[in-house]
């Protein structure tokens, strides 16, 4: 079978192809230096071996001309699609800066240690009361926007929620929130992990945000407050060289790119799964304590990040196949998350009570998602607020699905909603 990760037919529903790959070609040669992994075990082994499977080579190789080499043998449109997709765009935008997600140890170890504190589960759980207020306000707006009972979940909840939350965490004052939304819209749309955005717009948004953060960082260094930037600029006193201003700005932009569209897509994919499994939705209404497990199941069942890359620093064997140094492997997280060897015969089903804590939707190992606790909490609170305040949520039309091999989600999700 010829597997084409950019084929629209594949992207609309990639799961039958993932099943074929797992059963027939779990270490699949896509062409040129490119390989795709679809088994849970193989993906975990690669993620836990950053010495051989490098993020710098995986993402960094997408910078500029590197992409051409990566897609040798592909047609020009295909090459452009890859350049525009994945972290390649971001890496082009930040060429020269050290970005956490594209760094290997020892750079990664230092960067991660410096930025981790505000994202620890304990720091994130403290945000819950404020998150409940934000979600309540957004649900008010969602319900007020109904026309003949129909409203758009993406426009009123899934899309605005992550930006509002990160703006608060960064300590953006209320009079700058409209600017911040404009910049982050431009960055998220222009530098989408899924590609296809307007890069010029993204770069313009990033530049305005750079200038703004440049000032804020200087202020927080002089006078720390109770916000994320103040926490990160503080000298930890452990002899670690603190982040430079440009590293810090790159990190703030990474938060928007890595954290916003992904969380938006998790909420969208969750409600798509609920439309296909109305009994499971009823189960959550009857027993809201199942919501955290259902969020894990949504991450597993229809992963917002379908797959990401690593590059080999030396020849290595994966799943019985010898790969050469310089090979690029795409770890298909979404395929691994439906592996029967990991989740049993009903791996292709959504089961709200499964609680699949070993899924790889957030990756694993040293690069495991820094925002996982935040994404989980936002999604849990949004779902529980929506279920508490409504008596019925039904599909009211087909959602729009941007087609990307990296990100899977919806844009525009019309729902018919009855208030409780």
Interface contacts to ligand HEM, rule CB under 6 A: 55, 100-101, 112, 166, 254-255, 258-259, 262-263, 266, 304-305, 308, 361-363, 367, 369-371, 374-375
Minimum CB distance to ligand HEM smaller for 131 or for 166? 166
Whether the CB-CB separation of 417 and 146 falls below 8 Å is answered with: yes
By C-beta, is 108 or 354 nearer to ligand HEM? Answer: 108
- Residue 150 CB, shortest distance to ligand HEM, in Å, is 26
Q: How far is CA 47 from CA 35, 238, 365, in A?
A: 15, 28, 6
The burial of 286, by beta-carbon neighbours within 10 Å (0-12 exposed, 13-18 middle, 19 or more buried), is given as exposed
Alpha carbon 19 to chain centroid, angstroms:
23
Residues 202, 204, 210: CA angle, nearest 5 degrees: 100
Burial class (CB in 10 A: 0-12, 13-18, 19+), 62: buried
Is the Cβ of residue 116 or residue 392 nearer to ligand HEM in the bound state? 116
Closest CA to 26 of 332, 325, 299: 332
Q: Find where tokens 């797992």 sit.
A: 22
In the sheet where 150-152 sits, what is the strand order?
Answer: 150-152, 414-419, 390-395
Q: Which CB, 53 or 343, lies closer to ligand HEM?
A: 53
* Least distance (Å) between residue 87 CB and ligand HEM: 8
- The smaller minimum CB distance to ligand HEM, of residues 48 and 72, is found at 48
Cβ contact 131:377 at 8 Å: yes
Least distance in angstroms from the C-beta of 104 to ligand HEM: 10
For ligand HEM, give the closer residue by CB, 3 or 361.
361
**301-317 burial, b for 16+ CB within 10 Å, e for fewer?**
bbbbbbbbbbbbbeebe
- In the complex, least distance from residue 258 CB atom to ligand HEM, rounded to whole angstroms: 4
Minimal CB distance residue for ligand HEM: 371
**Which C-beta is closer to ligand HEM: that of 205 or that of 363?**
363
């Amino acid at each position: 079978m010829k597997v084409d990760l950019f084929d629209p037919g594949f992207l609309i529903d990639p799961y039958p192809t993932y099943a074929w790959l797992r059963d027939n070609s779990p270490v699949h040669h896509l062409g040129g230096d490119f390989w795709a992994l679809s088994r849970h075990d193989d993906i975990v082994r690669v993620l836990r071996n950053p010495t051989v499977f490098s993020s710098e080579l995986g993402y960094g190789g997408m910078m500029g001309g590197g992409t051409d080499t990566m897609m040798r043998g592909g047609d020009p449109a295909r090459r452009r699609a890859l350049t525009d997709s994945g972290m390649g765009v971001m890496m082009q935008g930040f060429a020269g800066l050290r970005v956490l997600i594209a760094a290997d140890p020892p750079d990664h170890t230092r960067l991660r240690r410096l930025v981790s504190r505000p994202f620890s589960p304990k720091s994130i759980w403290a945000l819950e009361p404020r998150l409940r207020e934000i979600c309540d306000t957004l649900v008010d707006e969602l319900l007020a926007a109904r026309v003949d009972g129909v409203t758009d979940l993406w426009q009123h909840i899934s899309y605005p929620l992550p930006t509002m939350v990160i703006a608060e965490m960064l300590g953006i004052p209320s009079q700058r929130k409209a600017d911040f939304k404009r910049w982050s819209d431009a960055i998220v749309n222009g530098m989408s992990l899924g590609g296809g955005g307007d890069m010029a717009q993204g770069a313009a948004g990033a530049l305005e945000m750079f200038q703004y953060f440049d000032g804020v960082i200087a202020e927080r260094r002089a006078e720390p407050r109770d916000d994320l930037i103040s926490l990160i600029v503080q000298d930890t006193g452990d002899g670690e060289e603190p982040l430079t201003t440009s590293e810090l700005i790159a990190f703030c932009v990474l938060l928007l790119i890595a954290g916003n569209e992904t969380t938006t897509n998790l909420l969208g994919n969750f409600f798509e799964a609920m439309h296909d499994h109305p009994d499971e939705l009823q189960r959550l209404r009857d027993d809201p304590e199942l919501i955290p497990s259902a969020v894990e199941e949504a991450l597993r069942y229809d992963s917002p990040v379908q797959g990401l890359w690593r590059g080999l620093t030396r020849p290595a064997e994966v799943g019985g196949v010898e790969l050469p140094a310089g090979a690029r492997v795409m770890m298909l997280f979404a395929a691994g998350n439906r592996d029967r060897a990991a989740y049993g015969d009903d791996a292709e089903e959504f089961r709200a009570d499964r609680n699949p804590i070993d899924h790889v939707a957030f990756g694993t190992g040293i690069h495991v998602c820094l925002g996982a606790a935040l994404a989980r909490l936002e999604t849990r609170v949004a779902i529980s607020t929506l279920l508490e305040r409504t008596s019925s949520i039904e599909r009211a039309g087909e959602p729009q699905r941007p087609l990307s091999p990296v990100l899977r989600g919806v844009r525009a999700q019309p729902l018919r909603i009855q208030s409780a």
